[in-house]
Structure 1
């Protein structure tokens, strides 16, 4: 029997699943202190047991995205705030090459917030 987190990835079409699986491995390999959990009915990633990012599918654009915890503190042109207060999202088009440079920059900047302890979680 599959875990709910694995079912999340498999419920999507092949292109979206492949994209999400790649992002999953990329994020888990990005830093040894990043771990994966099934939280709020979605794949969530933690840095030193603090929320870091998550995956979801955008309802309007039908594209996967990486939700960046405390992304509101980051200033990147490709991050979207929409109606979120603390988080921003990065849409990922599964039909195109993944922009690893952009994703890496955003993840590094987000990690630096965690490492510098500039963020708080209540």
Structure 2
């Protein structure tokens, strides 16, 4: 297994399946330009080799989240900045449906700044 696969397979179900779906959705949204790397022990997604977003876990909120680069330029009340300079995060509530269209809209907006 490569490090990215190991990262996801260390996460318990049902969170693992949700995050793997999110990963697949991001990668398939623009397969010619979005790539995945493993940096700082996290799966990062890049758009045309520039940082786009990453997935991580918040100990504070006890939830996984997706963090968007250029989040400081985005105006969505659902995104939290909390002292971050360039990033905003979207907490993933495993008890609710994944907001697929919202996430894809945010990713499209981030691409405009890259």
Shorter-normalised TM range: over 0.9
Aligned to 2:28: 29
Query: Counterparts in 2 of 1:96-107, with a 5 A limit?
Result: 96-107=96-107
| Residue pairs, 1:24-63, within 5 angstroms | 24-32=23-31, 33-63=33-63
The structural deviation recorded for 1:95 is 2.2
* SS, match of residue 14 in structure 2: helix
TM-score (norm 2): 0.94
Aligned-residue CA RMSD in angstroms? 0.9
**Matched-pair contact (CA < 8 Å) for 1:15–1:95:** no
Structure 1: any 5+ residue segments left out of the alignment?
115-122
Match of residue 88 from structure 1: 88
2:69 matched residue in structure 1:
69
Gaps of 5+ in 2: none
In the alignment, the residues of structure 2 paired with residue 13 and residue 100 of structure 1 have an alpha-carbon distance, to the nearest angstrom, of 21
CA offset digits 1:31-52 (Å, max 9, x no partner): 1200001011100000000111
Which aligned runs of 4 or more in structure 1 are off by greater than 4 angstroms?
A: none
Aligned residues between the structures: 113
What does residue 10 of structure 1 align with? 9
Distance in 2 between residues matched to 1:101 and 1:5, nearest whole Å: 24
Deviations 1:68-122 (A, max 9, x none): 01111111111100121111001111221101121111111111222xxxxxxxx
Larger proportion of strand: 2
